[in-house]
Structure 1
Amino acid sequence: MTKILGVVLAGGLSTRFGSDKAQALWRGRSLLDHALDALAPHCASLAVCGRDYPGVTVLADRPEPGQGPLGGLNAALHHAQAHGFDGVLVTGCDMPVFPAALAAALVGDGPAVLEGSHLAGWWPASLAPLLDAHLATETNRSLRCWFDKTAPRHVRVPDFAMPNINRPEDLDGMEKG
Structure 2
Amino acid sequence: MTGPSPRILGAILAGGQSSRFGADKALALLGGKTLLDHVAASLAPQVDALAVVGRAYADINSIADVPRPGLGPLGALAGALRYAVEGGFGAVLSVPCDAPVLPGDLRRILSGDGAAYLRDLPVIGWWPAMLARPLARWLDDDNPRSVRRWADTVGARAIAVDRLPPNINTPADLAALGG
Q: Same fold (TM over 0.5)?
A: yes
After TM superposition, give the deviation of residue 145 of structure 1 in Å.
2.4
The match for 1:29 is 33
The match for 2:167 is 164
Q: Tell me which stretches of 4 or more aligned residues in structure 1 moved more than 6 Å.
A: none
Stretches of structure 2 that go unaligned for 5 or more consecutive residues are none
**SS where residue 16 of structure 2 aligns?**
coil
The match for 2:20 is 16
**SS where residue 85 of structure 2 aligns?**
helix
Contact 1:102–1:157 (8 Å) recurs in 2: no
Aligned residues: 175
Task: Give the root-mean-square deviation of aligned CA atoms.
Answer: 1.3
Q: Distance in 1 between matches of 2:57 and 2:125?
A: 22
Residues 118-156 of structure 1: per-residue CA shift (max 9 Å, x gap): 211100000001001101113421213212312311223
TM-score by length of 2: 0.93
After TM superposition, give the deviation of residue 4 of structure 1 in Å.
0.5
**SS where residue 6 of structure 1 aligns?**
strand
Identity of aligned residues (%): 47
Q: Distance in 2 between matches of 1:144 and 1:103?
A: 19
Residues 93-123 of structure 1: per-residue CA shift (max 9 Å, x gap): 0001222322201012111111211211100
**SS where residue 175 of structure 1 aligns?**
coil
Is it true that 1:104 corresponds to 2:104 in the alignment? no
Contact 1:101–1:157 (8 Å) recurs in 2: no
